[in-house]
A and B are shown apart, each in its own frame.
Chain A
Amino acid sequence: MMYKIDLVVIGGGPAGLMAANTAAEAGAEVLLLERDGHLGGQLVKQTHKFFGSEKQHASVRGIDISTMLGDRLDSFGDRATVWKNATAIGFYEDGVITVDHDGVYKKVKPKRVVVATGASEKFLSFPNNDLPGIYGAGAVQTMMNVYGIRPGHRVLMIGAGNIGLIVSYQLMQAGVSVAAIVEGLPKIGGYAVHAGKVRRAGVPILTSHTILRADGQESVERATIARIDRTWNAIPETERTIECDVICISVGLTPLAELLWQAGCEMRYIPALGGSVPLRNDCLETTVKGVYVAGDVTGIEEASAAMVEGHLAGLEAAASLGFKSDSYDAERKDCMEQLTALRSGPTAEKIRTGLACTACL
C-alpha cells in the first residue's frame, strides 16, 4: 500500500517539529516521521535555558520547548499525523520514501518533503579510542538528562566548544567529577559565560592540548594527554596521565545527509558547516524540486536556528502546494530577519562563511 499525503517531514527534532507545525497551520496534510519513540530530537536532553530572543523561546529549557511543539502539533487533529519509531530508510527517484515503522515496511509518496534529519557526532582518532567508556558528549547528556544515569565517576572532556562546556557543567550538576577539559585550539571555542561557569567550579580548561591515548582492560581507566605545538604535534615531556573512567568526545557534529544523497540533491563539502550539505535556494528548497531542508542537516548551527529554518521550510513547502495564508509574507520576512540576527555575532562568522557557499539558485 502506498500512503499519499501533501507533506512528509523526516525528523521530529526542533527543525522538523516547526516545519510540521507551520505546514499544518497553513492547511497542508502532514506526516511527521520520527525514528525515536518520542518527539523532540536532541531538545529532550537540553536542560539549559536558551539564548536569543523571545521568538526563539529564549530562557525556556530545551526539554520544555519540545513538549510545547509536540502539543501544538496534536492540536491540528487529523491534519497532522505522527509516526514514532519510524525510520526513513530510502528516498527514491520517483519520490517514494520507504519507512520502517515499528518493524513494518511502508511506502509513502508525498507531494513535498522536508528533510530535517539533524546531525551525528564526530569522532577522534587515537589509540584505544574504541574502549567502552569513551562516549560522545551527546551520549553523556542523554544518559544523564533523559535516563538519569551518571556515565561514570570521573570524566575527561575533549573539546571546549559550547557542547563540551555545557556537558561538563551538566556532569557536575549530576554529581560527576570533571578532571579537565582538553582543547586542541589555542583558545576556548564556546561562549565565555559557559567557560566561566566550569572554571569557577574548579575545572581546568587546557587549551593547545590533545589526547594521545586511552588505556584500560575492558573499559577506560586512564588517558594520556599532552601539550601540542602550532602544527598540532605533541610537545615532548609535556605528557601526563589522567585517571578517569569516562572520556567524553565533543569535537563537533556532522550533517546526517544520507537521504539527500540518495534523493539526488546536489551536495557540497563545506568544512565550516561540518561536512557535506545540500545546495538550496532562499526557500530552503534543494536542487531536487519539492525537497526542502531545515536544521543541522543543512549545516551545523544550533536549535534556535533549526527552529526558524523549520518554520521557513514548512511555510514554503505548504505555499508551493497552494496553502498560502494571509500571514505568509510577514512570516517569511520574520524568519529571514531572525536567521540574520542569529547569525550576526562574531562567533557566527564561520557559519556565515559556510552559508555563503550553499546558495544554488
Chain B
Amino acid sequence: MGDRRITDHPILDFDEGEVIHFTFDGKPMEGREGDTIASALHANGVKVLGYHFKTKRPRGFYCAIGNCSACLMIVNGKSNVRTCTAPLLPGMVVETQSDRGVPDDV
C-alpha cells in the first residue's frame, strides 16, 4: 500500500525520512521518521487498531490528535497507548488491543 504516502503535493514537501522497522501483531512493517504509530500503520494499510473490549467491534482512530482514545493499542507490552500521537520508534512491538488493558505499575 505504498501509494498511501503523498509524494507530490502543490504546497507541502514531504521528506522521505529514515525508514523505521517495527512489527504489528508479529508482522514486520516499515514506517518513516516523523510517523506516529497510527500514521505508520495507516501507511501500511492497517485501519483496524483494536477491538472494543465488550462488543469486539473493530476500532480505528477518529480524531488523530489525542482526544478521543479510539486508537488505543499495546506497544512494547504497555496497553492503552494513544497511537495517534505516540511517535513511532525503531523496533517497536505494536499489537492490537481488544480488552481494557492493564494499568501501569501493577
State the A residues within 8 Å of B (CB): 35-37, 42, 47, 61, 120-121, 123, 130-136, 138-140, 142-145, 147-151, 173-175, 218-219, 256
Is the beta-carbon distance between B64 and A175 smaller than 8 angstroms? no
What is the CB-to-nearest-CB distance from A148 to chain B, in angstroms, rounded to a whole number?
4
B32 to chain A, nearest CB (A): 8
Q: Can you list 22 contacts pairing A with B, beta carbon distance less than 8 Å?
A: A120-B63, A130-B59, A132-B59, A133-B60, A134-B60, A134-B62, A135-B64, A136-B62, A136-B63, A136-B68, A138-B65, A139-B65, A140-B64, A142-B64, A143-B42, A144-B6, A148-B14, A149-B4, A149-B5, A149-B43, A173-B11, A218-B47
Known pairs A145-B12, A149-B6; A135 contacts B61 (CB<8 A): yes
Say whether B9 faces chain A, with CB atoms less than 8 Å apart.
Answer: yes
**B63, A150: Cβ atoms closer than 8 Å:** no
Give the number of residues in B that approach A within 8 Å (Cβ atoms): 36
Query: B63 to A138, Cβ gap below 8 A?
Result: yes
Among A121, A132, A135, A143, the one with the most B-chain Cβ atoms within 10 Å of its Cβ is A132
State whether A219 touches B48 (Cβ < 8 A): yes
Q: Are B39's CB and A132's CB within 8 A?
A: no
| A123→B68 CA distance, assembly (Å) | 11
How far apart are A102's CB and chain B's nearest CB, in angstroms? Answer: 12
Contact A35 B66 (CB under 8 A): yes
Known: A130-B70, A142-B64, A218-B47. 10 other contacts (CB 8 A): A36-B66, A42-B65, A130-B59, A138-B65, A139-B63, A147-B39, A148-B5, A174-B6, A219-B48, A219-B58
Q: How far is the CB of A283 from chain B (nearest CB, A)?
A: 29
| Binary CB contact string for chain B from 62 to 97 against chain A (1 if under 8 A, 0 otherwise) | 111111101000000000000011010000000000
User: Does B57 sit within 8 A of A, measured CB to CB?
Assistant: yes
Q: For the complex, give the distance between the alpha carbons of A37 and B35 in Å.
A: 12
A141 to chain B, nearest CB (A): 9
> Contact at B62–A148, with CB atoms within 8 Å?
no
Q: How far is the CA of A142 from the CA of B63 in the complex (A)?
A: 9
Report B-chain residues with C-beta under 8 Å of the C-beta of A142: 64-65
Residue of A nearest to B87 (CB): A37
Which B residues lie within 8 Å of A130 (CB)?
Answer: 52, 57, 59, 70
B87 touching A256, Cβ below 8 Å: no
Q: Once the chains are docked, how many angstroms separate the CA of A131 from the CA of B52?
A: 11
Q: In this complex, what residue of B is CB-closest to A35?
A: B66
B98 within 8 A of partner (CB): no
Is B61 in contact with A218, judged by CB distance below 8 angstroms? no
Interface residues of B in 40-61 (CB under 8 A from A): 42-43, 47-49, 52, 57-61
Q: Which chain A residues border B11 with CB–CB below 8 Å?
A: 47, 61, 173
The residue of chain B having its C-beta at the shortest distance from the C-beta of A41 within the complex is B65
A61 proximity list for chain B (CB < 8 A): 11
> What are the nearest 10 A-B pairs in CB distance?
A132-B60, A139-B64, A148-B14, A147-B39, A132-B47, A142-B64, A120-B67, A219-B47, A148-B6, A47-B11
Is B4 touching A150 in the complex (CB atoms < 8 A)?
yes
Q: Does B101 contact A (CB under 8 A)?
A: no
B6 surroundings in chain A (CB, below 8 A): 144, 148-150, 174-175
Distance in angstroms between the alpha carbons of A47 and B36 in the assembled complex = 20
Q: Are A131 and B5 in contact (CB under 8 A)?
A: no
Query: How far, in Å, is A11 (CB) from chain B's closest CB?
Result: 12
Within the complex, the shortest CB–CB distance from A131 to chain B, in Å, comes to 7
Chain A, residue nearest B57 (CB) = A130
Closest to B52 in A: A130
Shortest B91–chain A CB gap in Å is 19
Partner of A218, one of B48, B62, B85: B48
CB distance from B29 to the nearest CB of A (A): 14
The CA of A139 and the CA of B59, in the complex, are separated in Å by: 15
Contact of B62 among A47, A135, A173, A219 (CB under 8 A): A135
Interchain CA distance A36-B61 in the complex, whole Å: 17
Which residues on B sit within 8 Å (CB–CB) of A144? Answer: 6
B43 → A minimal CB distance (Å): 5
For residue B28, CB closer than 8 A to chain A, the reply is no
Most chain-B Cβ atoms within 10 A of its Cβ — which of A42, A143, A150, A173? A143
Instruction: Judge if B10 is at the interface, Cβ distance under 8 Å.
Output: yes
Whole-angstrom distance between the alpha carbons of A140 and B4 in the complex? Answer: 13
Q: Please report the C-alpha to C-alpha distance between residue A142 and residue B52 in the assembled complex, in whole angstroms.
A: 24
